[in-house]
Structure 1
Amino acid sequence: MFTITKEFHFSASHVLDRLPSWHPCARMHGHNYIVVLELSAADDARTENGFVRDYRELGAFKEWMDATLDHRHLNESMGGGAPPSAENLAKWIFDTWRAEIPELSAVRISETPKTWAIYRP
């Protein structure tokens, strides 16, 4: 199995309104997010060039991220369903992009330099 990753960045706000009112994340706040897409393929499923997928083909994801998430309020961007935690954001991105990127095997999200959430089905 071969695995590649590509990192993307965006800034956005959110409110985790299911937390107690005294919790700081219950107030509107923002993060400089890091998104890492992980793509995997078996040796015989790679392209004739030996790629899991050409990194350049992930440009559509960057365009979508810039238009949908960057400098937006995630409570609105994610459709108002599940709270926009890092965990739920990772799953939402995975579910949104799995059909377009069938090699997608995980999505990692960082809100701060010391915190990461990973969704891997």
Structure 2
Amino acid sequence: MYRITKEFHFSASHQLIHLPAEHQCHRMHGHNYIVVVELAGAELNADGFVRDYHELGPLKSYIDDTFDHRHLNDVLDVPTTAENMARHFYDWCKARWPETAAVKVSETPKTWAEYRP
């Protein structure tokens, strides 16, 4: 199996308002997010790629236009956890690129959430 990944960055605020008021994540705060999309295939295309990285440009546009410097509670209809964001980006990518295998989201240099069916 061949696997490729590409990394995208954005900054945004959010609140996990479903948590108790005394929980630090209940308060509005922000992160410098990293999103890593992974594509996989048993075969390569005629150019020798799983998919040309350039074809992933729409994900950058989507992130920049919809998520960057936004309040994520205004963007997503689910709690804005890294886990839910990984699933959201996975579904968005899978609808465009069938080779999508997983998406990882980081909120801090030491934390990652991944969605992989």
Which portions of structure 1, spanning 4 or more consecutive aligned residues, are displaced by more than 6 angstroms?
none
Query: Alpha-carbon deviation of 1:50?
Result: 1.2
Letter of the 1:108 partner, please give it.
K
TM-score w.r.t. the length of structure 1 is: 0.94
Residue 89 of structure 2: which of 81, 90, 93 is its match?
93
Counterparts in 2 of 1:42-61, with a 5 A limit?
42-43=42-43, 46-61=44-59
Task: Report how many residues are paired.
Answer: 117
Q: Aligned letter for 1:9?
A: H
Mind listing any 5+ residue stretches in structure 2 that lack a counterpart?
A: none
Partner Cα separation in structure 2 for residue 73 and residue 102 of structure 1:
29
C-alpha displacement at 1:95, in angstroms?
1.1
- Mind listing any 5+ residue stretches in structure 1 that lack a counterpart? none
- Cα root mean square deviation, aligned: 0.7
Q: How far off its partner does 1:96 sit?
A: 1.9
Q: Give % identity.
A: 60
Q: String of CA shifts for 1:19-72, please: whole Å, max 9, x gaps.
A: 1111010011000000000000012xx211110000001111101110000001
Scaled by the length of structure 2, what TM-score is found?
Answer: 0.97
**Is 1:40 aligned with 2:49?**
no
**For 1:1-121, what aligned pairs fall within 5 Å after superposition?**
1-43=1-43, 46-78=44-76, 80=77, 82-121=78-117
For 1:64 and 1:101, the matched residues in 2 are separated by: 14
Q: Quote how far apart the aligned CAs of 1:87 are.
A: 0.2
Deviation at 1:97, TM superposition (A): 2.1
Q: 2:110 corresponds to which letter in structure 1?
A: K
The code of the aligned residue for 2:41 comes to A
